[in-house]
Amino acid sequence: MTQEQEIARRRTFAIISHPDAGKTTLTEKLLLFGGAIQTAGAVKSNKIKKTATSDFMEIEKQRGISVSTSVMAFEYGGKRINILDTPGHKDFAEDTYRTLTAVDSVILVVDSVKGVEEQTQKLMDVCRMRNTPVMIFVNKLDREGQDPFDLMEEIEEKLSIHVAPLSWPISKGSSFRGVYNLHQKELNIFTPHKTAKSEAGIKINDVFADEILNYVKDDLVVKLRDDIKLLESVFEPFDAELYRDGLLAPLFFGSAINTFGVQELLDTFLEIAPPPGARQAEERVVNAIEKPFTGFVFKIHANLDPNHRDRIAFVRVCSGEFERNKFYYHTRLKKNVRYANPTTFLANEKKLIENAYPGDVVGLFDTGNFKIGDTLSEGEDLHFKGIPSFSPEIFKELENKDPMKSKQLEKGIRQLTEEGVAQLFIQQPGSRKIVGTVGDLQFEVIQFRITNEYGAKCSFSPLNFHKALWVTSENKKALEDFLQRKAQVIAYDIHERPVFFADTEWSLNATKEYFKEIQFHTSSEFDAK
């Protein structure tokens, strides 16, 4: 198979949602249809009955939440599917933002009961920044949720995107009966099956034929037919190009836990979702079909296997063919590196691979050479764009509770912040360590992993900071003067870039007004807001 054929058959996407919308459940049902797993776990009341396939960290198993990005690859329908299952908890949103730089499209899960929630809107904003194609799955139709028409209106209004319904539910809640595939003009009626793949349902090609009355109550048939007539009169025929341009979101309805509507979603996704395409580097646009290999690190995970204390760098292949045991150029370190054991993933299960193509995610065993955003190439000095850090919301000082384990603590906090679990800022004198996060749960994860993976002990003391902003200036002397005069509230990130800590919004505005030659940035990409 040629490189072009390998690229054409790949679909690399992330599944994103507000917490508890059913993202991990949908991921597992996609894996079931793909034959990658034989049974799905169920998460109820924060207790794992059978651990979710994509949740592999010990703390995830205990809490019943996803706090790190998992990568799952499998073959289905002649396609190579790469799913990136992102953290569901809002405290780990930044890991999701970085993951979105490594995918070609997104499936966004919306809870039919709660509708569009705050985190959903933030995730959509990140997708819009890169014109990422988005497909929406309205989940939990087995519950008494909102009216589908009201949900569509809310989605369009709050997410600022036009939608195109490609499936439609037959009722909801206790009377939920199935979904009608508007794209294929086919009605599928399923029997609920929560832990294994359900058999193909009854298929009826003409919802206006009397045959449907054998399976669906009269009043539900009347409502379905009226809904279809209204949809066909209001919505234009689906345009796949508008979807691939990020301007139109195909909409599906279903119940992931009952395997309703998942088949329609998966089959249509494989049909219309884009294969790997061109990606923007700082120097130029890199096309997927180029022969030389390029790729970038979008995630680092230490101790993926607690038995081996390994450190894995997740590399998205952007062009060419990645080959095992071949030397590649590390553009930041400016040296050649070679990897004898590259892997692909199914959650915590790793499989040795010989090669990989654009769209694939390769796991490389790392001894500390990689940082998030690093680029590999076959010699060209490239740097892929779009993996920023954002200004944290909560700040705490890291305190060592076991001086005999200082080296382990230092190693642990460095590795965890390089993974993107949190941000680390060093303040002098004394190498004071300030950890910044989006939410409190991240501190709990850090403390848990420091203890269980590195054998050290730590605690955190709250700091009364309002915001951390990166500072730059075209006037070198003005910047040096600012850093000296504000030394008590200046620290440096892991890339040794200066960061200013403001204690209140008022003091930040006053500082901006006084130091007019200093630029204050809310992200490390220095896109000031």
Q: For residues 107 and 25, is the Cβ–Cβ distance under 8 A?
A: no
**What was the pLDDT predicted at 140?**
93
CATH class for the domain made up of 279-377:
alpha beta
Q: What residues in the chain have per-residue pLDDT under 50?
A: 42-51, 56, 64-69, 527-529
**What was the pLDDT predicted at 45?**
32
> Would you state the torsion angle of the CA atoms of residues 98, 123, 72, 241, taken in this order, to the nearest 10 degrees?
-100
Q: How far apart are CA 366 and CA 517, in angstroms?
A: 41
The domains of the chain are located at 3-272, 279-377, 394-521
**What was the pLDDT predicted at 438?**
78
The pTM (predicted TM-score) of the whole model is 0.79
Q: Phi-psi region for residue 259, left (φ > 0), alpha (ψ -120 to 50) or beta?
A: left
**What was the pLDDT predicted at 49?**
36
Handedness of CA 356, 359, 365, 369 (dihedral sign): positive
**What was the pLDDT predicted at 96?**
74
> Of 526, 474, 469, which Cα lies nearest the Cα of 499?
469
Q: For residues 152 and 112, is the Cβ–Cβ distance under 8 A?
A: no
Q: How far apart are CA 289 and CA 321, in angstroms?
A: 10
Q: CA angle, 282 as apex, 276 and 287 as ends, to 5°?
A: 25
Backbone angles phi, psi at 49, to 5 degrees: -80, -40
The fold adopted by the segment(s) 394-521 is Alpha-Beta Plaits (3.30.70)
Q: For residues 102 and 316, is the Cβ–Cβ distance under 8 A?
A: yes
Q: For residues 304 and 310, is the Cβ–Cβ distance under 8 A?
A: yes
433 forms beta bridges with 426
Helix (H) or strand (E) holding 499: strand 498-502
Packed helices 441-454 and 406-419: angle between N→C axes, nearest 10 degrees: 130
**What was the pLDDT predicted at 48?**
32
**What was the pLDDT predicted at 186?**
82
Q: For residues 183 and 231, is the Cβ–Cβ distance under 8 A?
A: no
Strands of 98-156, DSSP E? 105-111, 134-139
Q: CA angle, 343 as apex, 98 and 424 as ends, to 5°?
A: 35
The helix/strand/coil state of 33 is helix
For domain 3-272, which CATH number applies: 3.40.50.10170, 3.90.1560.10, 3.40.50.300, 3.90.1150.10?
3.40.50.300
**What was the pLDDT predicted at 178?**
83
**What was the pLDDT predicted at 66?**
43
pLDDT in tens, 464-503: 999 999 999 999 999 999 999 999 999 999 889 999 999 9
Q: DSSP readout, 40-109? A: ---EETTEESS--TT--SHHHHHHT---S-EEEEEEETTEEEEEEE---SGGGHHHHHHHGGG-SEEEEE
Q: Is the peptide bond before 498 cis (omega within 30 degrees of 0)?
A: no
Would you say the CATH fold of 394-521 matches that of 3-272?
A: no
pLDDT in tens, 116-151: 988 788 788 878 878 899 999 999 998 998 999 999
